[in-house]
Amino acid sequence: MGWIIALWRRYFGGFDSKLDWLEQRGVQCVFFIALVFLWEFFVKKETAIISCCISFFSYLFFCKSHWYYFKCGTEDDKYIDEQEAKGRKPAMNWIIAPVNKLLGFKPRSKQYCFVGMMLRYTILALPVALFVGWKFYNAAFAIPFVYNAMFWVDLPKTRFCKSPTNWAEWFSGLIIGWSLI
């Protein structure tokens, strides 16, 4: 399951497909929900209701945006300002901004982005962890470290992984996928 979720997570992050319909976010989400449901129901022998809950909460875990946080403080300020002018807001900023202010981190800094990723992943991991156990929560806790590590480790660029973000998507999917087993 770990390898399958890793492939899906990289695909969900925007894999360069030649088939346009595969690039549609709705198709990607339906595929993921079905994948997790089938795994939980047929392989782990969970009830249909539990399998639905796990697949739905897992979907929410992955689909909630992390926008510029995932760039670990390297996103261009001009781009962020343009996006905010269009009405785009960082996800869960209602909790992330006050926590960062309390910690004294400057908006858009590496520390601010790290805390944003940490809160975004750990808060959304709680509902899934209630069903599959705390190993899922522990895996979610690792994701911000994975993203940050990929920005200082110079991994080779391939067709499948062209940037540090792509590598982080791959490894985060692998970690989360193994935690669902």
Q: Which residue has the tokens 């809950």?
A: 53
CA–CA separation, 129 vs 121, rounded Å?
A: 12
**Which distant-in-sequence residues (6+ apart) come within 8 Å of 151 by Cβ?**
71, 72, 74, 164
Across 75-84, 85-94, 135-144, the highest mean pLDDT is recorded for: 135-144
The percentage of residues in the chain with a pLDDT greater than 90, rounded to a whole number, is 48
CA–CA separation, 116 vs 143, rounded Å?
A: 12
Among 13-27, 108-122, 148-162, name the one with the lowest average pLDDT.
Answer: 13-27
> pLDDT tens for residues 58-82?
988 888 777 788 888 888 899 889 9
The percentage of residues in the chain with a pLDDT greater than 70, rounded to a whole number, is 92
**Which distant-in-sequence residues (6+ apart) come within 8 Å of 85 by Cβ?**
none
pLDDT beyond 70 at 141: yes
Across the chain, mean pLDDT equals: 88
Count structural domains, the chain.
Answer: 1
Mean pLDDT on 97-109: 95
Range of the domain at 40: 2-179
pLDDT at 21: 67
Closest listed residue to residue 56, CA positions, set 116, 144, 131, 142: 131
Mean pLDDT on 91-110: 93
pLDDT at 14: 67
pLDDT beyond 90 at 98: yes
